[in-house]
Each structure stands twice: as structure tokens, then as C-alpha cells.
A and B are shown apart, each in its own frame.
Chain A
Amino acid sequence: MIHEILWLILLIVKIVGVLIALTITVAYLTFFERKVIGYMQARLGPNRVGIKGWGQPIADVIKLLFKEIIIPKKSNRFLFLIAPMLVIVPTLTIWAIIPVSSKAVLANINLGILFILTFSSITVFGIMLAGWASNSKYALLGAMREVAQLIAYEIAMGFAVVGVVMASGSLNLQTIVMHQSGGIWHWYFLPLFPLFIVFWIAGIAETNRLPFDVAEGESELVAGFHVEYSGIAFGLFFLAEYINMLLISVLAALFFFGGWLSPVQNIPWLSSTLGWVPGSIWLFLKIAFFMYCFFWLRATLPRFRYDQIMGFGWKILIPITLFWIVILGVIINLGWL
């Protein structure tokens, strides 16, 4: 009995630990983003609060927490308030199965990929409700765009992941990563290159980042589905967006870039000199690189139009994945992978 209770307490501590780590990471991701984009746009980014601006994310969080949540009079109060929770809860749940090294994971489940796809789809309901319950045309338009876009790109992303599953023969994230061991040449981004590109583009679209941010396209819909939200209710949408970005980066690293594996495995001299670097550092570096790519794209590209995004998803990305899955089947059957 005492063992079960201890186990339960430990689990709760772990869960809280993951949540706190996530929140802090997201807070500093916003700081990182503003700095990166700032330097790319010939300005400095936040540099006032704390030492060199490092207090900025804390100040932002405190501001959001203490701001009044304004609920529009003609909105549906219940749905209006439940929508951000419907978005944030599935987003956080996914992190239960994300491994950061071969041992550190909350739940090592065998249907990992299905779990991720399922829970990331649930957020659509929250977004739809947010747009609908606000009783604002801008919010409704934003929600409609977002839902259509999420569905289209989830299919492309799902197919891209199917390629990974075919190559590794498993739905378990740990197994997928361990299949890629043996240095940078064994990572899946080489044989599955088109799928990686599709996955990455679909990931950007899923998280509503430029050039696919039509759902909250500032110059058209002001802020899209969360235009009526303020305070921490808006904060939750914001948090969910950044956690999703982080998730896409982690998944890209796990599926295509060997997760926590060192890129220099089996390379005679390098693997021994860099052998002391723990796996989580490699994973961290990979995630940081992908996050940087998110910000880089945001600072570079103009925005697509909504119908162009749909065309791009259905007519280009999905056919590419289907085609490459067939090729992959042939390759695997011939025993080349």
C-alpha cells in the first residue's frame, strides 16, 4: 500500500514538474522569439525589465494573470470560458508521453503517435467554440479558417508520420528514436526527406505561424478566434500556441533527427570526445534549432491567403506524402532501410 502511495506522490511531483518546466520554457520562448526577431529586424527586442530584459517574460505573465477577463455581453458565458481550457488541456496532456532521453518520460506507451495525433486534434473543438461563443464575426471567421486549416494539415502531417512508422515499424516514440541510432547518417530525415519537409510545413500550419497564420492574420482579422479574449483567458490560448510550437519542434527532432541521440555516434574520434554530452542536451539543441526556424520564417515571409493555404495543403502536400509512402514501401520491401 505504502509503495502505491509513494509511487502516486512521485508521479504527481513529476507531472507538476513537467508543467512548470513547460510554462517557464514557453515564457522564455517568447523572450527568445522577440530577441531573435528583434535582431533580424534591426532592433534590440526587450531589454528593459531585469538584467538585459530577462525579467520581461515574468512581467508579461504577471500582467496577464492580473488583467481583467472581459466577457462580451452577448457571448455564451459558459462556452466562452470553457474554450481556452479545452485548448490547453489536450495540449498539455501530450507532454506526458514525450521522452527527453531514453529514461526520462512520464508514460512510455506503445501507441504514442496515435495518442499525439488524437490529442492534438481535440484542440480544434476549443478553437471552434472560442470563435463561436465570442459572438463576433471576426472571431467566427478566424475559427472557421483555423478549423479548416487544421483538418487539412493534420491529414498531411498524419501521412508524413505514417512514413516514420513504416520505417521504424513502431508507434512507440522510444523505439522510433532508438531505430535511428548510429550517427547522423542513420537519422530518418535523409531517407524520408520529402516527408520531413511536409511534416515541418504542416507543423507550421498547425501551430498557426507565419506564413500560415491566416486564422489570426493581424491585418485581416485583427486577432482571429481569440479577438474577444483578454487576461489569462487569452494567456491560455497564447500558452497553447507556444506549447504546440515546442511540440512540433520536439516531434521533428524525435521523428526525423534522432531525438536525444548524438549526431556523431560511431564517428571514431568525435564520438569519444563528445561522448560526455548527455542526450537531453542534444535534444535541447535540436529543439532550439527548430524553434529558431519558426522565428526565422516569421521574420522573413509574407502571409498566404486562406484559400491558397487550403490549395497548398490538399493539392501539393498530401499528394507528395502519398507518393513518397508508396516509394518508401518499395524501399522497405527491398530491404534498403
Chain B
Amino acid sequence: MATTKEYNLNFGPQHPAAHGVLRLILSLEGETITNVDPNIGFLHRGVEKLAENLTYQQITPYIDRLDYISTLANEHCYILALEKLCGITPPERAQYIRVLFDEITRLLSHLIWLGSHALDIGAMSVFLYAMQEREKLLDCYEAMSGSRVHPNLYRIGGMRHDLPETMPDGTNFFNYLRDFLTELRKVLAELENMLTDNPIWKKRTIGIGVATKEQAIAHGFTGPMLRASGVNWDLRQQQPYAVYEQLQFNVPVKQAGDCYARYLVYLAEMQQSSRLIAQCTTWLENNPGPINTDNKIINIPAGEAYAAIEHPKGEFGIYINSQGENKPWRLRIRAASFPHLAAINMLAKGHMIADLAAIISSTNIILGEVDR
């Protein structure tokens, strides 16, 4: 009489689908997953502790490196928390620039998500086309800050400097962005054409990694993960920060809660980001003005503040407890993708190994942020 036995499989930390250095200990029955035990910490750099020994200005680059593919969104959150603590409101133009770059960041992050999600399901070309578009946006980063990945651009009460007039090759910055948006629309249509109605894609994503509305809320999901489960929650609308109140955009919501719903939400969000970028571009072109507060001397008062923004992956929050020194007494980071990774067992249980690759990539975890 043949007997079957559960066995363990070590998935990672060096694995092509692990998105960085994630180790999952899988309990398998044949190819069916009975338990997933995520093992994190391989990328732990102790940013929260490091921050306690750095001045506020020195912390910004560290915050950049948390979620290393949506850097400016991290920065925005940190700066918002500090401004909240000091009670400073930056000039409107600075806020528009921030929103512009937040949305560029969202596109950067979503594009790499789309690419790597498709790559994990086997559609290799999507990745390269997404990366190609991403390069053009990184050029914007470079023109603005001199750095392609870690810009260190936002300052308390404003920006490091104003928008560049031209790109390095001489084209007008605003025209470049507008051209990019037209181009992006075409590329997205092509990629959608390749995936959205593809029967194999649908077979691989529909009904995979389902989180119901209740489960999503109970596990603390935010961002696209939550919206794909049918909850209309977007901090840009619910607790507007910067100038989101003055801009028009929709929050895409899907009900199914599976990988396919997440894919649709991500794609729809890219369209909305394009809309926001277009609006910001028009406003910024017509409204020159100061980009920093007049108050040049900033003393961070004692007290505490928590600021949260709608990061590409969900709610990214920074809590600062200041004792009135030039460095924080405690800095705490709420990583957007941490709860999503924590729910991996719920999402993947009962699915197969191949689905695990799809589920991990659909949750869009970045280990730099999870491990901090």
C-alpha cells in the first residue's frame, strides 16, 4: 500500500520568483501547497534604528532605499510627517511637483510590477516593454534630481529645486512628459492586448490567490490589493494630502480579489496616474512660483506625528517621535507590502507551486521595505 507524505521545500532565498531575498518554507502534498511559512529579514538594514542617530536631513536618503522602486513616494511620506510635526505647509507649486513625481513613481512601480508579474507567469516580453517605458520615466528623475533611482529630492517645506526647463537632450520637460503619456497609452494598450484576454493568462490568474473583502480588511491590506478585493479605499481620496483634492481621478475597484482582479486594478491605476500627471503638467506650466517656505530655520519641535500616503503598493506610513533634538527619538515605518506578505499563507494555501509564483508577484512585495 503506497502512502503519501507531506514534504518541505525551501523556496528561496535565492530563487527567481522570490523577488529579492525572500525565503518561503513550503509544505507540499504533491504539488499542492498546504502551508507557507515566510522567512524574512535577509535584507534587514535597521533603518529605523539608524535613523535615531542621524539628523532629519540625513534620513531622507535612507527612506529612499526602503522601497527601492518607488523612492519618491517614500520620501514624500517622510517629509509629510516632518511637516506635520512642524506645522509647515509648503507652497502650492511644491505640492504640485510632489504629486507629479508621486504619480511618476506610481507609474514606475506599477510598470515594474506588470513586467515582473508577467515574467513570473512566463510572458517574458512584457517585462522588457515595461522596462523600456520605465527608462523614459527614469530620465525624468534624472533631469529633475541628477539621480535615476534614489533622488533625495524633497525637503522640509518644499523641494530641493524647481523643475528643470529641459531634458538633457534639450526637449522641453513638459512636452517630454506629454509625449511620454501618449506613448505610454499605446504601449499599455499593446500589453493589455497581449494579456487581458489571453486564455492562458486568465487560466493562470483568475481564482488564484483570492482574498475576500473581509479577509483583506482583517489582514490589513491596503492599496491595490485591497481595492482588488472590492473595498473602495484610497488615501488620496479618503485623507487627501498635498493637492490631490484639486485633481480629478477615479479609484478603480474590482470585486473578485484574485490575481486577475489585481492585474486589472494595477492597469487601471496606471491610466489614472497618467491623468494626474497630465493635470499636474498643465498646472505647473502655467503657475510659476516659489517652491520653498520662507521660513529657512527649521526646528523640529518635541512631539509625535504620523503621516500616511497612498504609496504605489498601499498605505505607507511614517511615525516620528521627536524630543526636540535634531534627530528623531524614534522613527517607525509602516511598510505597505508587509501585511500582504504576512497573508501569503492565506492566499497560497491549496494552490500549486506554479500559482505561488503568480501570487507572490501579484502581492507586489519589495523586500527592502518588508525587511527595512
Contacts and interface: CB of A to CB of B under 8 A. Distances in A.
A198 interface: no
Given A41-B124, A42-B132, A222-B15, A304 B203 contact: yes
Contact of A42 (B118, B129, B204): B129
Chain A's interface size range is 20 to 34
A95 interface: no
B31 A303 contact: no
B194 A303 contact: no
B31 A141 contact: yes
Nearest to A214: B354
Contact of B128 (A42, A210, A302, A304): A42
A172 B9 CA distance: 48
B31 A219 contact: no
B122 A213 contact: yes
Nearest to B123: A302
B125 A141 contact: no
Interface in B96-140: 118-125, 128-129, 132
Given A211-B200, A219-B121, A222-B16, A305 B355 contact: yes
A43 interface: yes
A306 to B, nearest CB: 6
A302 B124 CA distance: 8
B128 A219 contact: no
Given A42-B132, A307-B352, A302 B357 contact: no
B163 interface: no
A210 B118 CA distance: 13
Given A213-B122, A302-B121, A41 B353 contact: no
B201 A302 contact: yes
A277 interface: no
A217 interface: yes
A220 interface: yes
Interface stretch (A6-14, A258-266, A293-301): A293-301
Nearest to A304: B200
B129 A219 contact: no
Interface of B: 7, 9, 15-17, 31, 118-125, 128-129, 132, 194-195, 198, 200-201, 203-204, 352-357
Interface of A: 37, 40-43, 137-138, 141, 210-211, 213-214, 217-222, 298-308
